[in-house]
Amino acid sequence: MTIVTFLNELMRRRKRLPSQLAADLGVSHATVRRWLLGEDVPGMRSCRRLAEYSGAPLQKVLAVIGHLPDIGVRETVEWPEFREYARQKYPNELDEDVITMIEDLIERRRQKQYDRTEARRKSRTKRLI
C-alpha cells in the first residue's frame, strides 16, 4: 500500500474531499494535494494525526509512508475493513445497504474519538500559552 492509496481509501471511507481531509488534519489543502500526487509525504506530526483520524495503528501509517520498514507492520495483527470482513463472514445475510450503514456508524465513532482527542490537544495548547 502507498500513501496515495491509503489516503484515497481513507477519504472514501470518511466520505471526505481532499480539502475537508486537510481541514480535519490541520494541514493546508496544497499539502494534501502533494501527498495525493505522490510529490511529498507526511511528516511525523501529520502521521500521528493521520493515525488518530483513520483509526489505524501509528506503526502502519509510518510504514505506509516509508518512515518505518514494512517488516514491523507484518508482525502486528491487523483487522480487515468492515466491508471486507462482512462479505467474507456473512456473504448472503448482509446486503450493501446494511454494510454501508454499519460502516457509517463505525466512521462516526472514529470521528467522535478524533474530535475528543483534538479538543484535549487544543486545551493543553491554550494552557501552555
> Is pTM, for the whole model, over 0.75?
no
The tens digit of pLDDT for each residue in 104-119 reads 898 888 888 888 888 8
Three-state secondary structure along the chain? Answer: CCHHHHHHHHHHHHCCCHHHHHHHHCCCHHHHHHHHHCCCCCCHHHHHHHHHHHCCCHHHHHHHHCCCCHHHHHCCCCCCCHHHHHHHHCCCCCCHHHHHHHHHHHHHHHHHHHHHHHHHHHHHHHHHC
Domain ranges, ordered by start, for the chain: 1-76, 79-129
Mean pLDDT of the chain: 86
Please report the pLDDT score of residue 107 as a whole number: 85
The tens digit of pLDDT for each residue in 53-103 reads 998 889 989 999 888 875 544 444 566 788 888 888 888 888 889 988 998
- CATH, domain 1-76, list 1.10.3720.10, 3.20.20.120, 1.10.260.40, 3.40.190.10: 1.10.260.40
Mean pLDDT, residues 44-61: 91
